[in-house]
Amino acid sequence: MEKQSLFTRAQNVIPGGVNSPVRAFRAVGGTPIFIREASGSKIIDTDGNSYIDYVCSWGPMILGHSHPVVVAAIRDAAGRGSSFGAPTELEINMAERLVAAFPSIEMARMVSSGTEATMTAIRLARGFTGREKIIKFTGCYHGHADSLLVKAGSGVATLGIPGSPGVPKSLAELTITLPYNDAEAVRSAATRYGDEIACIIVEPVAGNMGVVQPKPGFLETLREVTHANGSLLIFDEVITGFRLAYGGWQTLTGILPDLTCLGKIIGGGLPVGALGGRREVMEHLAPVGPVYQAGTLSGNPLAMTAGIATLDILKEKSYPELEKMTERLCAGFADLFRGKDIPARINRVGSLFTLFFTADEVVDFETASRSDTALFARFFQGMLAAGINLAPAQFEAGFVSFSHTEDDINRTLSACAKVLKTL
């Protein structure tokens, strides 16, 4: 078992053996698989096992792994130099695509991760408004910047407590955490803190407590409240950006934020993030304005190349087809679970889905938390053993890519049928 010895070696020199915690399988137990290579909808581990992959690098690989056009573009770009620390035309080409795709984006700044995008968005919102408090929602993940690593306290508009040691209390206190989908809580926080609030940041479709759809009126309320009190609305579309439509959730709904955070898909599998919004706000960033932000590898030519190649392919793709495939997968899951009397809720938006092991409707973090995580862990391990790679934690999204086939879906469902017999 190669993965065992690799994991032992890894744990010796990398905390927990991983460079991002969820990869360590702590929520499901056992030893993480180490990936050797991947192509299309399949990943192959170092033990030679092949899996149908519904993690897709946590979202970026919407075209599937190693898409030949993207690979060729990266190869070609690498031969011409991998970083210059000076402007390139590629960065303009990328920014122009983002501006064209997103109705609310007039200018964009490229960074190297989603975390950098949200961190910058918060700083920019504070710098633009001259205010310090921010509102986020419990169970929404916006990367690991200090201000955003805050979980909910109890009650409606509880001042934040640090979600991680190392986040200063004085900073966490500026983060107000509210329940997702609770428009009333937003209204009462706005009444209480109105002109102290710099911004509200939200995943327009939540993906990091598992997939949770916004209730009708929720995002509209955020837009209305921020307009009324002069704060900024930030959509974190790091997952949803080019996932739910070319142009993200805002394109589908017409609800337009002041700032949009992007990442994942726009890097085509390379490390990228971006921040975009109204010119008036974006020009508060240095060097035009006083809000500082920088990055040695920002707008990196390889990352821009992979991202542009990905976006140009996506532009020609049918998102409804991708959705239909995912719908069929989820309908299949639902049938199998119904037949087994195992409580399950399947939330799906576009090609994002989560199978919650709970009988209750999941509308926020509290209801998501009712899931039977022990049962999920057994399901996960069964599926993995059957060649299906799901996210190794209950509170995550599953991702279907354009490279998944009907055959993949059928094989996934027959694996599921077998696994359910063992639960």
Ligand X SMILES: *Cc1c(COP(=O)(O)O)cnc(C)c1O
Q: Rg of the chain's alpha carbons, rounded to an integer? A: 21
Residue carrying the six token digits 């209730």: 215
Work out how close the CB of 267 gets to ligand X at its nearest, in angstroms, rounded to a whole number.
8
Expressed in percent and rounded to 5, the helix, strand and coil fractions of the chain are 40, 20, 40
141 is catalytic: yes
Q: How many helices (H) and strands (E) does the chain have?
A: 14, 17
* Rounded (10°) CA dihedral 235, 125, 111, 150: -70
Of 11 and 19, nearer to ligand X (C-beta) is 19
Residue 326 Cα to chain centre, angstroms: 17
Contact 181, 138 (CB under 8 A): no
Binding site for ligand X (CB under 6 A): 113-115, 118, 141-143, 203, 207-208, 236, 238-239, 263, 273
236 is catalytic: yes
- Residue tagged active-site, from 264, 319, 364, 408: 264
Of 237 and 408, nearer to ligand X (C-beta) is 237
42 is catalytic: no
Cis peptide before 287 (omega within 30 of 0): yes
What's the CA gap between 85 and 80, in Å, rounded?
14
- DSSP letter string over 202-246? E-SSB-BTB-BPPPTTHHHHHHHHHHHHTPEEEEE-TTTTTTTST
Work out how close the CB of 342 gets to ligand X at its nearest, in angstroms, rounded to a whole number.
28
Of 88 and 113, nearer to ligand X (C-beta) is 113
Work out how close the CB of 115 gets to ligand X at its nearest, in angstroms, rounded to a whole number.
3
Of 162 and 263, nearer to ligand X (C-beta) is 263
- Residue tagged active-site, from 51, 141, 246, 319: 141
- Residue tagged active-site, from 45, 53, 146, 236: 236
Of 127 and 273, nearer to ligand X (C-beta) is 273
Closest residue to ligand X in the complex (CB) = 114
The residue type found at 70 is V
Work out how close the CB of 385 gets to ligand X at its nearest, in angstroms, rounded to a whole number.
27
Work out how close the CB of 64 gets to ligand X at its nearest, in angstroms, rounded to a whole number.
19
Of 21 and 230, nearer to ligand X (C-beta) is 21
Region of 164 on the Ramachandran plot (φ > 0 left; ψ -120 to 50 alpha; else beta): beta
**Beta bridge partners of residue 199, listed in sequence order:** 134, 232
Any idea which residues carry the catalytic annotation?
141, 236, 264
